[in-house]
Amino acid sequence: MTVSEIFNVCIEEARKAFGEDEVPIGAVVIHNDSVISCSHNTREFDHNILGHAEINAILEASRKLKRWNLSDCDLYVTLKPCSMCVEIINQARIRNVYYLLDKFSYKKEYDKTVFKKITNCNEQMYANMLADFFKNKR
């Protein structure tokens, strides 16, 4: 799959979250150039603070691969991960994280995992979706 195709899956997951009145964030785990898992935020639906898209996708990938060490996997996510997700990503040994949008207020330094900002993959469409979600909440 191309990076653009992977981010299309992420955005589709974000759309699902949006439709479920969740913060629209989507995540995909890639293993051996294939999607091993994809998910979106489920905090409201599951009544669980841990229901972040990244954590949901990592847990599903671990179940499918039957191991917690995902050092041969990459994570794609629509929004730069929060500090909680960064720690889970580091603990899972995710190799690389690719994201569409930065979180402007986020200042934590990352340790082991390499984070790379991706452009030209519908980031404006996703930015609009995220803005619409929060505009509807006000």
Amino acid present at 87: E
Q: What is the bridge-based pairing of β-strands 73-79 and 114-117?
A: unpaired
Q: Could you give the residue numbers annotated as active site?
A: 54
C-alpha dist (Å) from residue 31 to 69, 75, 92, 97:
12, 9, 13, 13
Q: Are strands 96-101 and 73-79 parallel, antiparallel or unpaired?
A: parallel
Neighbours of 3 (CB within 10 A): 13
pLDDT per residue of the chain (138 residues) written in tens, 0 to 9: 899 999 999 999 999 999 999 999 999 999 999 999 999 999 999 999 999 999 999 999 999 999 999 999 999 999 999 999 999 999 999 999 999 998 754 445 545 677 788 777 788 888 888 888 888 776
pLDDT of residue 107: 46
User: Residues of 96-113 as b/e, b for ≥16 C-beta within 10 angstroms?
Assistant: ebbbbbeeeeeeeeeeeb
Rounded (5°) CA angle 5-82-95:
55
CA atoms of 93 and 70, how far apart (whole Å): 5
